[in-house]
Amino acid sequence: MSTTLLTATNKTLKTALAYLRSWQVEAKQSFSLGKAVALVTATAVNQQQTISIGSGTPTSGAFELTAEGTVLSIAFDDTAAEVQTKLEAVFGVGNVVCSSGPLPGTSVVVTFQGEFAGLYVTPMVVGTSSLSAGTPACAITRTNVPYYRLVAWNPATITDPTAALSVSATGSGGSFTATVHIITYTWSNAQGETRAARPTVLALTSGQQIRVAAINAAGTPDDATYLNVYVDGILAKKIAVSTPGTGGNVAQTDIADYDTANAFVAPPDTNTAYTATNGAHKLLGFLNKAVSTDWKGGVFHSTAATGTIQMGGIQDADVVVGGIVNQANLVGISGYETIVLSQLNAKILSGTIAGGDAEIAFGPYGGDL
């Protein structure tokens, strides 16, 4: 038996080990090389599908139900327990539980659990029916949330604000110069920040403060956590949104001076205020392999990215996030340049983003590179 030694600085070794991280992925997914992925941090939710018979009450017969390619026969009066037994032959004992019923008067609710907990399950399909009356149906009635698995990230953003901020001069004790000031604002959340709204002009006399009028729920984006007020192109105040989400609002706020913690921060050029999808609140990076997953989320096919630096012993089943990827291969996020370079602490190894020829290196955790 031979022993191979890896000699590297601590920093380089840390980067190399990062490539070996294997992640769990949502079931029944196909991701291309360079696809943006996020880690689901919301509580897992098991998918539910509901089997029903509508538009009539049968007294005899059965109908076909195809589950993962297997055709089952569901009787017109099957109980939840009977349907469960049939589905367990496909999904396995402990992986599915049926409730409510019996048919035809009461729908049977199918909940996937066990090995399918939190995972996407292909909708079961109703086929040929010999029911004496009624129309059978099956549909997803509760969407899954795959906790701590990767999902493709194609997030929407908080819409860039357009209306000018309602501001006025007030009081005393302010430290702004007695002159005309240009004021604008953005919205932000944990992911990033929108671009600035059109500016408004406000004249201040010596000692006056800037009063930002309250913004009601209708004027506050559901996904925003802060209103950021910029005075003369510099961030002056971050105002927290009260109870972010539907019904969130911004209270009237007086600004006496620039917040020193935000000194010299200018409005962003790119909207990075992405909103979560499927509970995916943490951008993890971009895939260094093309990945497809089976019905339990296992990776059954992947290919190495061209030009990727890899270490010996990496299996195809590893989902590699990070490494070295060409700009042309990064997909899934509009304005990804800002996300990659800031939130993932990436580095441009060659070329320029503006030129479209950048070769970018980043790790699964910001700062690994």
137 and 55 together in one domain: yes
Residue 204: its pLDDT value, please? 98
Query: 235, 199 in Cβ contact below 8 A?
Result: no
20 domain residue, yes or no: yes
94 domain residue, yes or no: yes
251 and 314 together in one domain: no
Residue 96: its pLDDT value, please? 98
204 and 134 together in one domain: no
197 domain residue, yes or no: yes
313 and 331 together in one domain: yes
**pTM flag (> 0.75):** no
33 and 56 together in one domain: no
What end-to-end distance do the CA atoms of the chain give, in Å?
Answer: 33
299 and 318 together in one domain: yes
| Of the residues 262, 289, 305, the one at which a domain ends | 262
319 domain residue, yes or no: yes
Tokens of 12: 């380089």
Residue 348: its pLDDT value, please? 85
Residue 313: its pLDDT value, please? 37
Q: How far apart are CA 280 and CA 146, in angstroms?
A: 9
Tell me the per-residue pLDDT of 216-274, one tens digit each, with 9 for 90 and over: 999 999 999 999 999 999 999 999 999 887 778 999 999 999 988 876 889 998 888 88
Number of domains in the chain: 3
3-state secondary structure of 157: strand
60 and 140 together in one domain: yes
| Of the residues 217, 235, 262, the one at which a domain ends | 262
240 and 207 together in one domain: yes
CA neighbor of 89 nearest in space, from 73, 78, 108: 73
- φ/ψ (deg, to 5) at 354: -60, -30
Distance of CA 263 to the CA centre of its chain: 31
Q: DSSP letter string over 315-352? A: -TT---B-EEEEGGG-BS-TTHHHIIIIIT--EEEES-
- φ/ψ (deg, to 5) at 87: -75, -30
Query: 185, 228 in Cβ contact below 8 A?
Result: yes
Q: How far apart are CA 329 and CA 34, in angstroms?
A: 5
18 domain residue, yes or no: yes
Q: How far apart are CA 86 and CA 148, in angstroms?
A: 30
3-state secondary structure of 41: coil
| Of the residues 221, 238, 262, the one at which a domain ends | 262
Residue 314: its pLDDT value, please? 41
Tokens of 123: 């909708």
CA neighbor of 24 nearest in space, from 150, 153, 152, 151: 150
CA neighbor of 190 nearest in space, from 236, 151, 155: 155
- φ/ψ (deg, to 5) at 138: -145, 135
3-state secondary structure of 362: strand
Q: How far apart are CA 280 and CA 293, in angstroms?
A: 18
CA neighbor of 275 nearest in space, from 228, 342, 233, 224: 224
Q: Domain of residue 60: give its range.
A: 48-144
199 and 258 together in one domain: yes
Query: 271, 158 in Cβ contact below 8 A?
Result: yes
189 and 123 together in one domain: no
Residue 5: its pLDDT value, please? 35
4 domain residue, yes or no: no
Angle (CA) 187 39 267, round 5°: 20
Residue 201: its pLDDT value, please? 97
Residue 203: its pLDDT value, please? 98
178 and 209 together in one domain: yes
160 domain residue, yes or no: no
DSSP state letter for 216: -
Residue 21: its pLDDT value, please? 52
Report residues of the chain scoring pLDDT below 50: 1-20, 305-317, 365-369
- Residue written as token pair 């569901």: 74
- Residue written as token pair 């991701």: 31
3 domain residue, yes or no: no
33 and 116 together in one domain: no
Residue 278: its pLDDT value, please? 80
Amino acid at 89: A
